[in-house]
Amino acid sequence: MVDKQEELVEISMQIILHAGNARTHCTDAVQCAYQGDGAQADALLQEAKEEIVLAHNAQTSVIQQEAQGAKYDLPVLFIHAQDTLMTIMSELNMSRELIRLYKYIQLHSAAEK
């Protein structure tokens, strides 16, 4: 049986992994939009969102367990995982806006030609 602290380390690593994957997809999506491939940018943003959901679900499992009475000594790794998730959620939001801006610029640049 895995003790609660080991479980928390595993969950922390899941959060960091999925959030990191989301960051990679966001970065790639913005690059695709910059290069004029809006469809690929949208697909990558969707993949980023799916990774964020997986990371968020892992975090939520800890919160739900604690609400049900589980006691944890919070390791720095879990705090780092939460910080990473929140940062990348912001990056996802900013990536959406950058992509929207690139699409707008490209649409209006093409109309002017």
Q: Are 49 and 92 in contact (CB under 8 A)?
A: yes
80 is catalytic: yes
Rounded to the nearest 10°, the torsion over CA 82, 26, 43, 13 is -30
Determine which one of 18, 25, 56, 80 is catalytic. Answer: 80
Q: How far is Cα 92 from Cα 26, in angstroms, rounded to an integer?
A: 6
Catalytic residues: 80
